[in-house]
Amino acid sequence: MRRPLFIAAFALAAVLAVTPVSAAQRSSLAAPPQPHFWLTVLHNNDGESRLINAGDGPLADYGGIARFKTLVDRLKFEATAGLEAESRPGKDGVVMLSSGDNFLAGPQFNASLTKGVPYYDSIGLDLVGYDAMAIGNHEFDFGPDVLANFVSGFAGGVPFVSANLGFSLEPGLQALFDQGRIVKSTVVKERGELIGIVGATTPLLPAISSPRRVTVDPNVAGIVQGEIDALEANDIDKIILISHLQNAQEDLALIPELSGLDVVIAGGGDEMLANPGDLLVPGDVLNPSLPYPLTATNADGATVPVITTSGDYKYVGKLVVGFDKAGNVVDIDEDVSGPVRVSGVAPDAVPPDTVVQLQVVDPVAAYVAALAANVIGQSQVALEGRRGPTPPGVRTAETNLGNLLSDALLWQGQQLAGNFGVTPPNVALQNGGGIRNNSLIPAGSITELTTFAIAPFANFVSVVPNIPPAQFKEILENAVSRIPLADGRFAQVAGFSFTYDASAQAQVVDNAGNVLTPGFRVKDVELDDGTKIVMNGLLVPGAPAVSIATNDFSARGGDQWPFRGAPFTTIGVTYQQALSNFIQGPLAGLITAADYAEGGEGRITR
């Protein structure tokens, strides 16, 4: 079914009701505007280095960037030269766009870091053939230099688009900006029609990633509108926003502030937009409240479709929109719009692209297989790494995996602090957002691959000495401030225990860690040696400062942890290496049920 979009239907009806017109005039006025140009918008987001396939078990037959490439090629052909295009009057064009999080820390991306530039992700995405790509938060997880390497690895020169990021203090990215490889907006020409593409990145970037000296303008609406106005001033009247604002709701809230916008592609939320009859990957479920597309009304009163897909290269999103000669969206071909799954099984199986398979998938799979073959220990218990809140996970409650990783940070910090001239830590904090496996690891063998799945980021173990007790309490208040939500700021701990009351007032801080609203959730804090820091919600007079082992992301104030620029020292070991060293060292390769009971041991009590 094709859905015409009428912007002024009510006004038209009013005119017909009060103005005498002939039958021919009434017929002309009532006729819906006809599309002059059909644009197929192919899109994805949150590919996140899931290059081999969509996962284990049944998911192994879905996703994968080689199958993804084949499907994109087929959809491009259908949009412009196939039977689908022939069935529509007017011109036909196609664009391929990404809404960010184009790579992610983990064993597959580690293959790229080991290989060097061009990264496997760059090679694969370049071969897919994008017209523009947004910049997400995960692009900065390894810092600006890795992002610069990622972008420079694209031989085809696809533009990376973000209007609200500034790169003047980061020479590598600024050079790419000066070369036009990173832009605020870009223009794509299809069948003689010009399509403007504007990008935007979440203002939360400094709190959830590691952009270093990249600046982020929080006035997304103002910046994006400025780019739209500039495009319209150059007679470009078909405009798409590719954003990575963390979820589609952010885009739906933004659209009423913007004029001249026609289509929005959201990223970061992993929402599964779909309609009855769409073929879904096993495990994905149709949600009637999330149809494809969502819509919002812009400042002009026009209906704007909002689209996104579930990530991991499981789907190619496809929206077919009809523009009239004035550049207005007047129709959506709903019969052929929606998520198209990337499948290796009937009835919609596609073979992997042979070039992408050879140049990307095969070497990455070989690298991961080598990690999986290296067994470093055994666990007597299942290790809880799911995020929560149901069941309680690493972002909402103490778990045995959180305890294991926190213990590893504390032990590694104590082992190496003297080599770096820093006070040995007596407590440790691991942000739940840095525990990435999002699974219950069964009892049995623990491999090097397991440790990368748990702790994939290039986050280095760091020691923050001499944190006053009042600030330590504020850090813990931040950790529990978003409960009951599953938030990455929740802390797994070692060297102490604490209790909190989730019904009490939550602390609010800004991105610099300044406390805007004090929190009263943390009730008791006691070090493992019996020293009390907080009792009944109050600081204990004379309580000592603490030395904290954590990761450098958190030490810099990631997840709004209020370290507020406190000096810290990295000790030359990533948190993945610390975990591997701890299992093979003091644990002698055995994670016991006595030390790491399922459900935890009472370090955190709610």
Helix axes 107-115 and 362-373, enclosed angle (nearest 10):
110
User: How many Å is the Cα radius of gyration of the chain?
Assistant: 26
Total residues belonging to the chain: 606
How far is it, in rounded angstroms, from Cα 187 to Cα 193?
10
Nearest to 457 by CA among 347, 334, 579, 349: 579
Give pLDDT, residue 21. 41
Q: Is 268 helix (H, G, I), strand (E, B) or coil?
A: coil
Give pLDDT, residue 31. 61
End-to-end CA distance of the chain: 52
Give pLDDT, residue 7. 39
Point out which residues pair with 251 in neighbouring strands.
none
What topology does CATH give the domain 2-29+75-343?
A: Purple Acid Phosphatase; chain A, domain 2 (3.60.21)
Cβ atoms 222, 186 nearer than 8 A: no
pTM, two decimals, is 0.83
How far is it, in rounded angstroms, from Cα 186 to Cα 242?
11
Give pLDDT, residue 141. 86
Q: Show the tokens assigned to 169.
A: 């203090």
Q: State phi, psi for 490 to the nearest 5 degrees.
A: -60, 140
Where residue 53 falls (left for φ over 0; alpha for ψ -120 to 50; beta otherwise) is beta
How far is it, in rounded angstroms, from Cα 567 to Cα 173?
27
List, as one string, the DSSP characters of 187-200. EEEETTEEEEEEEE
Domain locations in the chain as residue ranges: 2-29+75-343, 374-605
Q: Give per-residue pLDDT as tens, 253-299.
A: 999 999 999 999 999 998 999 999 999 999 999 999 999 999 999 99
Where residue 182 falls (left for φ over 0; alpha for ψ -120 to 50; beta otherwise) is beta
Cβ atoms 494, 407 nearer than 8 A: yes
380-416: buried (b, 16+ CB within 10 Å) or exposed (e) per residue? ebbbbbbbbeeebbbbbbbbbbbbbbbbbbbbbbbbb
Cβ atoms 149, 119 nearer than 8 A: yes
Q: Show the tokens assigned to 76.
A: 């491009």
Residues of the chain short of pLDDT 50, as ranges, are: 1, 6-29
Q: Show the tokens assigned to 296.
A: 């919002």
In CATH terms, 374-605 corresponds, of 1.10.760.10, 3.90.780.10, 3.30.420.40, 3.30.390.50, to 3.90.780.10
Cβ atoms 296, 252 nearer than 8 A: yes
How far is it, in rounded angstroms, from Cα 553 to Cα 251?
27
> Which residue has 């007790």 as its token pair?
469
Which amino acid makes up residue 11?
A: A
Which amino acid makes up residue 478?
A: N
Give pLDDT, residue 176. 98
Sorted by sequence, the CB contacts under 8 Å of residue 434 that are 6+ apart come out as 455, 457, 459, 488, 551, 553, 554, 575
Cβ atoms 589, 469 nearer than 8 A: no
Give pLDDT, residue 391. 86
How far is it, in rounded angstroms, from Cα 477 to Cα 499?
11
**DSSP conformation class of 255:** G
Sorted by sequence, the CB contacts under 8 Å of residue 476 that are 6+ apart come out as 491, 498, 500, 522, 525
Give pLDDT, residue 10. 32
Q: Show the tokens assigned to 184.
A: 């605020």
By CB atoms closer than 10 A (0-12, 13-18, 19+), residue 276 is exposed
